[in-house]
């Protein structure tokens, strides 16, 4: 039974005493939960018991608002945004929920009076790592903003039993450990065992005549698996609205099992259970490119099928007939991973709900919208027709039929242009026939958007040029944003307090443009001093954290120069490394030179099968070992790799950074969102004109941004002309000596071969033009060092960066989706 069906109005007074916000109520709630849920008394409670009691005490207070929201949304029949995403990276919930409830101070005092270490309780929570990187974290930021903006919404995804692997570093190499995040229980989720849908796979289709004599298609599957809903409440900041993150867990279908049971195959029946459960067992750890594995396709169809069936159920429960489905719902596809939803909705409307093709298609293409997150060809999903047919025979028929209708239109519009038809087809016919998921997503959606201005332009002019020629109005831009609740208030309470005091209000937390009020104080020496103190304090905290985990000691006075993101060649962590080696060589050549001390900090995971990315991690750690232990360097520069970069650990990084490395090859990073998180916390950016960097620079002013490197245009021109990296290597003596130093074995205990695959690739292919941008990067880094010497000037730039970050709130992004794409309205739930 869904909450939306709760029959009784709430007894608000009863709820308030049970879930009051006063310090006394919090203390009582905490002790009750420790006793009745954890079954513990104070003296024997473990840190984990204390965390669980705190989490339940917080959740109790959210549930009241949740039920109210569900009741209101139901009676209002409100239009609902369904955000379909194979990944969600919400980060630990406790601290964020306390912020959004507005009870951080009360809870801190309550904990103090109970003699508890509040920070230790917060730190106890496991990271829900149900995503790889930017795409999954964006989904979580959007959920926060949807609730804060009071827009009814449901995030649909997969409840992976194992999320993204835990990264440890052993002998400088990345080692992956499985992420058993549910081991100690998850107090934030509520299982809904009765919200369960069958998901079908395999088998065949057949035609039959229904009682009206119409020809219909029946899908006879070979396997049925159940999806069961697990709900996590997503509370908005300072509002009564609570939306739903509904994640599906795969279970064996009871009815299906019984068949095996009846013929006495008990063992086989249990085996089928295990196989069913593998579907939601583990997240694929590839962050573009795609894995292309059969289980991945099964996962995608699994969560998509459950989600569409759930929406149809909700439609019947609230509005009624399916004709208004596209008025009740809008479905946003977070990349192509959920784009099977287009075929699945068609199937359900036609095969299960008796609609003809035209009515079903009318609803389907009006309900879907699609966000593209990459132009990298290797990241664009395609599935071989034979695999697709084996797993989803009915959906292949539907895809063919969509394609037939679509290509007919194209042929009418572009008479005789069969080349274009071939390019636009949902099926790639060159070589092994494959289904192009991006083409399916564009054809099945009424709106398509990129995630930053430059990216959306490139989407229109390169990747989807043919589609843009055909449907120019379908294409939009919505520049990404991040939530200031998580990345400022939770991660950086010191800075947040300082901003609120300086601006005379904390309104900026819900209206990030208000940060502009800081500009009036950008020259104020009192603010400068406190701004500097806040940054130094965060640097000390990070230094202590890193010392404890890696043994490397950083000097808080040094420039904290940070690159934290997935390890990928296009993101060019190795360009950063070449600069570090340059600094090292300079110091070795003239030890007495007046160099500004720097701490180079890296964080990020490599896909387990991505050899070159793993070699880059090894090289970072190898360079760190040599530099950090060279007495001649004497700590002037230090290099450290933060193990297991994730949302939780990232919260230590953003507040402490002075310099944010956003150095991808122009045209390759769709948006980037780390760039926004660093800048909001007062770091200056060194970056290329890529993704959202372009707009960040526009906002903060070019004098407050360290720009270097080729533009996207220059990149494609160079590529057209023919790019020869070895010419740079041969001509630039410093570049040559930096690369030669890697090959000398200095960083690899004399092994001259270890890093050869990396250096050979740079000199011979260099697909991401590291060598072409090397000289400009080094020069720009020299400017950074000079600028850092002038503390007043640097601090002023830092303040202006924060003051001008309003645009990059995910609240702004969600407002744009709501207004231009979804056409949804807020439904306030009063407190
Ligand atoms: N992104 Br496609 C991912 O994190 N994973 C993916 O599989 C794909 C894209 C990222 C983009 O690389 C990044 O530029 C962007 O900011 C982010 O999605 C959110 O849009």
Which string of DSSP letters, residue by residue, matches 341-359?
HHHHHHHIIIIIT---HHH
Centroid of ligand 1 to alpha carbon of 670 (angstroms): 7
In 3-state terms, what secondary structure has residue 255? Answer: helix
Per-residue CA distances from 510 to 36, 149, 489, 654 (Å): 36, 9, 11, 20
Q: Best substitution site from 130, 135, 283, 810 to test ligand 1's pocket, by max atoms within 8 Å of Cβ?
A: 135
The set of residues, in sequence order, having a beta carbon less than 8 Å from that of 429 and lying 6+ positions away, is: 422
Q: Quick check: CB of 64 below 6 Å from ligand 1?
A: no
Instruction: Give me the torsion for CA of 628, 632, 634, 640, rounded to 10°.
Output: -20
Residue 428: how many other CB atoms lie within 10 Å: 17
Strands 637-642, 598-603: parallel, antiparallel or unpaired by DSSP? parallel
Domain with CATH 3.40.50.2000 in the chain: 77-92+127-477, 490-727+767-815
Q: Quick check: CB of 478 below 6 Å from ligand 1?
A: no
- DSSP string computed for 638-679: EEEEESS-SHHHHHHHGGG-SEEEE-PPTTT-S--SHHHHHH
368 phi, psi to nearest 5 deg: -95, 145
* Cβ pair 447, 821 in contact under 8 A: yes
In 3-state terms, what secondary structure has residue 556? Answer: coil
- Using CB atoms within 10 A of its CB, is residue 67 exposed (0-12), middle (13-18) or buried (19+)? middle
Nearest to 820, CA basis, from 306, 447, 558, 398: 447
Distance of CA 258 to the CA centre of its chain: 40
Q: Best substitution site from 129, 131, 133 to test ligand 1's pocket, by max atoms within 8 Å of Cβ?
A: 133
Active-site residue, selected from the candidate residues 61, 648, 677, 812: 677
Ligand 1, atom nearest to 670 Cα: 14
Centroid of ligand 1 to alpha carbon of 134 (angstroms): 5
Q: In 703-769, which residue ranges form alpha helices assigned H by DSSP?
A: 712-721, 725-731, 733-743, 756-764
Residue having the nearest C-alpha atom to atom 16 of ligand 1: 672
Active-site residue, selected from the candidate residues 373, 535, 568, 605: 373
Residue 194: how many other CB atoms lie within 10 Å: 9
Ligand 1, atom nearest to 480 Cα: 20
Residue 275: how many other CB atoms lie within 10 Å: 12
* Cβ pair 670, 288 in contact under 8 A: no
Q: Quick check: CB of 502 below 6 Å from ligand 1?
A: no
DSSP 609: T
Q: Is 108 a catalytic residue?
A: no
Q: In 3-state terms, the chain is what percent helix, strand and coil (to 5)?
A: 55, 15, 30
Ligand 1, atom nearest to 137 Cα: 19
Can you give the length of the chain in residues?
831
Residue having the nearest C-alpha atom to atom 1 of ligand 1: 135
In 3-state terms, what secondary structure has residue 218? Answer: strand
The set of residues, in sequence order, having a beta carbon less than 8 Å from that of 34 and lying 6+ positions away, is: 40, 41, 42, 45, 49, 50, 53
Centroid of ligand 1 to alpha carbon of 707 (angstroms): 22
Q: Quick check: CB of 466 below 6 Å from ligand 1?
A: no
Specify the pLDDT at position 379. 86
Distance of CA 556 to the CA centre of its chain: 30
Q: How far apart are CA 787 and CA 773, in angstroms?
A: 21
Active-site residue, selected from the candidate residues 364, 673, 685, 824: 673
What is the mean pLDDT for each group of 10 consecutive residues in the chain (831 residues)?
A: 38 57 95 96 95 98 96 94 98 98 97 97 98 98 98 98 98 98 98 98 96 94 97 98 98 70 74 91 88 92 98 96 98 98 98 97 98 94 97 98 98 98 97 97 98 98 98 98 98 98 98 98 97 98 98 98 98 98 97 94 98 98 98 95 98 98 98 98 98 98 98 98 98 98 98 98 98 98 98 98 98 98 96 83
* Cβ pair 406, 400 in contact under 8 A: no
Q: Quick check: CB of 141 below 6 Å from ligand 1?
A: no
Q: Quick check: CB of 336 below 6 Å from ligand 1?
A: no
Q: How far apart are CA 84 and CA 786, in angstroms?
A: 47
Helices 340-347 & 437-444 angle (0-180, nearest 10): 60
Given this structure, which CATH class describes domain 490-727+767-815? alpha beta
Cis before residue 289, ω within 30 degrees of 0?
Answer: yes
Active-site residue, selected from the candidate residues 296, 566, 728, 796: 566
Q: Quick check: CB of 451 below 6 Å from ligand 1?
A: yes
* Cβ pair 447, 372 in contact under 8 A: no
In 3-state terms, what secondary structure has residue 415? Answer: coil
- Tokens 């030669």, residue? 740
Centroid of ligand 1 to alpha carbon of 136 (angstroms): 8
Q: Quick check: CB of 151 below 6 Å from ligand 1?
A: no
Ligand 1, atom nearest to 673 Cα: 16
- Tokens 């009745």, residue? 36
E strand residue ranges, 385-433: 427-428
Q: What is the CATH number that goes with domain 77-92+127-477?
A: 3.40.50.2000
Q: Quick check: CB of 672 below 6 Å from ligand 1?
A: yes
In 3-state terms, what secondary structure has residue 499? Answer: helix
Q: Quick check: CB of 381 below 6 Å from ligand 1?
A: no
Centroid of ligand 1 to alpha carbon of 671 (angstroms): 7
Specify the pLDDT at position 635. 87
Q: Quick check: CB of 644 below 6 Å from ligand 1?
A: no
- DSSP string computed for 155-190: EEEE--SB-SPEEEEETTEEEEE---TTTT--TT-E
Specify the pLDDT at position 315. 98
| End-to-end CA gap in the chain | 25
Q: Quick check: CB of 480 below 6 Å from ligand 1?
A: yes
- Tokens 């001259």, residue? 752
Q: How far apart are CA 317 and CA 654, in angstroms?
A: 44
As given in the structure block, the two tokens for residue 416 are 């005789």
Q: Is 677 a catalytic residue?
A: yes
Centroid of ligand 1 to alpha carbon of 373 (angstroms): 5
Q: Is 566 a catalytic residue?
A: yes
Based on C-alpha coordinates, what's the Rg of the chain? 27
Ligand 1, atom nearest to 288 Cα: 7
Centroid of ligand 1 to alpha carbon of 505 (angstroms): 34
Q: Quick check: CB of 135 below 6 Å from ligand 1?
A: yes
Q: Is 535 a catalytic residue?
A: no
Q: How far apart are CA 772 and CA 787, in angstroms?
A: 25
Helix (H) / strand (E) element for 332: namely strand 329-334
Residue 433: how many other CB atoms lie within 10 Å: 14
Q: How far apart are CA 257 and CA 749, in angstroms?
A: 58
The set of residues, in sequence order, having a beta carbon less than 8 Å from that of 507 and lying 6+ positions away, is: 514
* HEC profile of 71-138: HHHHHHCCCEEEEECCCECCCCCHHHHHHHHCCHHHHHHHHHHCCCCHHHHHHCCCCCCECCCHHHHH
- DSSP string computed for 182-212: TTT--TT-EEEEEEEEEEEESSEEEEEE-TT
Q: Quick check: CB of 379 below 6 Å from ligand 1?
A: yes
């Amino acid at each position: 039974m869904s909450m939306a069906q709760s029959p009784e109005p709430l007894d608000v007074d009863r709820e308030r005493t049970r879930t009051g916000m006063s310090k006394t109520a919090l203390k009582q709630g905490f002790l009750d939960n420790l006793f009745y849920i954890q079954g513990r008394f104070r003296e024997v409670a473990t840190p984990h018991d204390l965390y669980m009691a705190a989490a339940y005490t917080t959740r109790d207070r959210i549930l009241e608002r949740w039920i109210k929201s569900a009741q209101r949304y139901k009676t209002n029949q409100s239009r609902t945004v369904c955000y379909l995403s194979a990944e969600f990276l919400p980060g630990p919930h406790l601290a964020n929920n306390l912020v959004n409830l507005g009870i951080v101070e009360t809870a801190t005092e309550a904990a103090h009076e109970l003699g508890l270490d509040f920070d230790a309780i917060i730190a106890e929570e496991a990271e829900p790592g149900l995503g790889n990187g930017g795409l999954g974290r964006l989904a979580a930021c959007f959920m926060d903003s949807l609730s804060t903006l009071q827009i009814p919404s449901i995030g649909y995804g997969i409840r992976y039993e194992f999320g993204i692997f835990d990264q440890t570093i052993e002998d400088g190499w990345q080692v992956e450990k499985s992420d058993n995040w549910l081991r100690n229980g998850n107090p934030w989720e509520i299982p809904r065992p009765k919200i369960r849908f069958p998901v079908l796979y395999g088998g065949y289709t057949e035609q039959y005549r229904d009682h009206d004599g119409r020809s219909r298609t029946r899908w006879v599957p070979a396997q049925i698996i159940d999806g069961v809903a697990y709900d996590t409440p997503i509370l908005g900041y300072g509002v009564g609205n609570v939306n739903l993150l509904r994640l599906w867990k795969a279970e064996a279908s009871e009815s299906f099992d019984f068949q095996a049971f009846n013929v006495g195959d008990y063992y086989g029946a249990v085996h089928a259970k295990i196989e069913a459960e593998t579907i939601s067992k583990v997240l694929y750890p590839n962050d573009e490119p795609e894995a292309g594995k059969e289980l991945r396709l099964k996962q995608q169809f699994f969560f998509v099928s459950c989600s569409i069936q759930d929406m149809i159920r909700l439609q019947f429960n609230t509005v009624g007939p399916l004709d208004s489905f596209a008025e009740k719902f809008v479905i946003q596809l977070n990349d192509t991973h959920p784009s099977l939803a287009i075929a699945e909705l068609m199937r359900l409307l036609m095969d299960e709900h008796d609609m003809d093709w035209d009515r079903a298609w009318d609803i389907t293409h009006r309900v879907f919208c699609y966000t593209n997150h990459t132009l990298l060809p290797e990241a664009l999903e395609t599935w071989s027709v034979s695999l697709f047919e084996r797993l989803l025979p009915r959906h292949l028929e539907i895809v063919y039929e969509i394609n037939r209708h679509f290509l007919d239109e194209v042929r009418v519009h572009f008479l005789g242009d069969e080349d274009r038809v071939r390019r636009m087809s949902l099926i790639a016919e060159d070589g092994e026939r494959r289904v192009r998921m991006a083409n399916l997503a564009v054809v099945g959606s009424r709106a398509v958007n990129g995630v930053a201005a430059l990216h959306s332009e490139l989407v229109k002019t390169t990747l989807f040029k043919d589609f843009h020629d055909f449907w120019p109005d379908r294409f939009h831009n919505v520049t990404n944003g991040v939530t200031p609740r998580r990345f400022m208030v939770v991660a950086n309470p010191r800075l947040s307090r300082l901003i609120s005091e300086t601006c005379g209000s904390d309104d900026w937390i819900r209206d990030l443009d208000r940060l502009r009020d800081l500009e009036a104080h950008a020259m104020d020496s009192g603010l400068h001093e406190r701004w500097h103190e806040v940054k130094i304090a965060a640097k000390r905290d990070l230094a202590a954290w890193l010392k404890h985990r890696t043994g490397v000691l950083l000097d808080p006075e040094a420039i904290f120069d940070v690159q934290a993101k997935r390890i990928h060649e296009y993101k060019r962590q190795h360009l950063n490394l070449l600069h570090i080696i340059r600094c090292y060589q300079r110091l070795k050549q003239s030890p007495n030179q007046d160099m500004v001390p720097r701490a180079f900090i890296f964080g990020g995971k490599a896909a387990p099968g991505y050899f070159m990315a793993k070699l880059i991690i090894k090289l970072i750690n190898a360079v760190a070992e040599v530099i950090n232990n060279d007495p001649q360097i004497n700590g002037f520069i230090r290099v450290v790799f933060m193990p297991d970069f994730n949302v939780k650990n990232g919260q230590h990084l953003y507040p402490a950074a002075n310099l944010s490395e956003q150095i991808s090859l122009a045209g390759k990073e769709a948006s980037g969102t780390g760039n926004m998180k660093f800048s909001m916390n007062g770091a200056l950016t060194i970056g290329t004109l890529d993704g959202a960097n372009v707009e960040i620079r526009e906002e903060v002013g070019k004098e407050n941004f360290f720009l270097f490197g080729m533009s996207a245009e220059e990149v494609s021109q160079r590529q057209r002309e023919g790019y020869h990296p070895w010419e740079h290597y041969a001509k630039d003596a410093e570049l040559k000596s930096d690369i030669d130093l890697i090959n000398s074995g200095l960083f690899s205990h004399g092994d001259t071969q270890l890093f050869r695959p990396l250096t050979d690739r740079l000199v011979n292919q260099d697909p991401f033009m590291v060598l072409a941008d090397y000289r400009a990067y080094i020069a720009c880094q020299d400017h950074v060092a000079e600028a850092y010497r002038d503390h007043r000037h640097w601090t002023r730039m830092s303040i202006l960066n924060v003051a001008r970050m309003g645009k990059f709130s995910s609240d702004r992004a969600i407002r744009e989706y709501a207004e231009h794409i979804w056409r949804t309205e807020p439904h306030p739930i009063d407190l």
